[in-house]
Amino acid sequence: MIFGPVPSRRLGFSLGVNNIPPKECSYTCVYCQLGNTLKLSHIRKEYYSTEQIVNAVKEHIAKLGDSVKIDYITFVPDGEPTLDINLGRTISALKNLGIPIAVITNSSLIDIEEVRNELSAADWVSVKVDAVDKQIWHEVDRPHGSLDLDKILNGLLEFSGRFKGKLVTETMLVKGINDTEKNFSQVSAFIKKFNPDKAYITIPTRPPAVGSVLPPDITALNNAYQIFKENNLDVELITGYEGNAFSSTGDFAEDLLNITAVHPMREEAVIELMKKENSDEEVLNKLLKSNRLIKSKYNGKTYYLRNLKFERANSQ
């Protein structure tokens, strides 16, 4: 029920709370890394009592000892956390421990006022926005038949208007389903309406529920990033390679790969970094030749991205 803490780029050291049995969800996303949904449901109910979860968290923390750092207690279950009718009570009880609370939700029940109220008590909430077009939403997230996308999108806008914590979005891209420029424009324009602290673009990195699901091509990934940026969103890629865009090692090749795993870089910025780190074009060309780095054009400009296909092939 409790695991970690695990290092997370978004949350630092995150202690996971699994408040839903495997795998009960309101969606059956084609890319779900937990496999197919075993119970598709949109009705909230009790799975564990608040006391059970709070006691489990306390016991887990006690076992870890004082030296273990925990930045967030995160609801990240084997299903959709807001299906848990005790979520609000449990968040309030856990807040007494003095550790910030995070919830990663697929947003499907956010049209329900109690769900919005309960999530408002958290310190950090991640909401999923894979598509704002109904057909694409059905194809990628395969929702429970009773769910209504318009209501969900309105619920998201209402929630964002009142939430005082950190709000981030997550958009998972799947090749051939939601990786078109039209979808990127629609999704980013919608997300811009509530301007989250961060808009993350993610791709499937572990075996998906549907075997044929593939991540988007590098060009589509770069297009998505650039279109989100054009909508003035603070966007970052999550591609399975946790680049550290914020610390410089002084090694041009390593820094370039780290940054471009998260932020595609314009050619001019790459040259600037190269000069700053006293490197030369030979290093850059080597990365391109060995396929670790890849060039992609968007609107006449050249961008460099870390080549995820190369990384995947070499990590297997």
- When the beta carbons of 29 and 270 are compared against ligand SF4, the nearer one is 29
Q: How distant, in Å, are the alpha carbons of 33, 260, 261 from that of 253?
A: 31, 11, 12
Which of 1, 34, 112, 214 binds ligand SF4 (CB under 6 A)? It is 34
Query: How far is Cα 188 from Cα 202, in angstroms, rounded to an integer?
Result: 14
Q: Print the binding letters for residues 96-115 with ligand SF4: x by CB under 6 A, - otherwise.
A: ----------x---------
Closest distance between ligand SF4 and the C-beta of residue 141, in Å? 6
- Angle between helical axes of 281-289 and 267-276 (0-180°, round to 10): 130
The three-state secondary structure class of 144 is: coil
Which of 2, 11, 17, 25 binds ligand SF4 (CB under 6 A)? It is 25
**Interface with ligand SF4, residue 37, by CB under 6 A:** yes
Q: Which residue stretch of 1-9, 32-40, 210-218, 220-228 sits at the interface with ligand SF4 (rule: CB under 6 A)?
A: 32-40
Closest distance between ligand SF4 and the C-beta of residue 300, in Å? 36
Cβ atoms of 148 and 138 closer than 8 Å? no
Which of 19, 27, 264, 306 binds ligand SF4 (CB under 6 A)? It is 27
Q: Which residue stretch of 31-39, 109-117, 246-254, 263-271 sits at the interface with ligand SF4 (rule: CB under 6 A)?
A: 31-39
- When the beta carbons of 32 and 94 are compared against ligand SF4, the nearer one is 32
- When the beta carbons of 27 and 184 are compared against ligand SF4, the nearer one is 27
**Residue 86: is it exposed, middle or buried by C-beta count within 10 angstroms (0-12/13-18/19+)?**
buried
Closest distance between ligand SF4 and the C-beta of residue 29, in Å? 3
- Angle between helical axes of 113-120 and 149-162 (0-180°, round to 10): 30
**Interface with ligand SF4, residue 32, by CB under 6 A:** yes
Question: Considering CB under 6 A, how many residues would be counted as binding ligand SF4?
Answer: 10
- When the beta carbons of 80 and 311 are compared against ligand SF4, the nearer one is 80
Q: From edge to edge, which strands make up the β-sheet containing 301-306?
A: 265-266, 301-306, 293-298
- When the beta carbons of 32 and 153 are compared against ligand SF4, the nearer one is 32
Q: How distant, in Å, are the alpha carbons of 96, 142, 186, 310 from that of 54?
A: 10, 32, 40, 43
**Interface with ligand SF4, residue 29, by CB under 6 A:** yes
Q: Print the binding letters for residues 76-95 with ligand SF4: x by CB under 6 A, - otherwise.
A: ---xx---------------
How many other C-beta atoms can be found within 10 angstroms of the C-beta atom of residue 104?
21
Cβ atoms of 245 and 263 closer than 8 Å? yes
The three-state secondary structure class of 135 is: helix
**Residue 207: is it exposed, middle or buried by C-beta count within 10 angstroms (0-12/13-18/19+)?**
exposed
**Interface with ligand SF4, residue 74, by CB under 6 A:** no
Binding site for ligand SF4 (CB under 6 A): 25, 27-29, 32, 34, 37, 79-80, 106
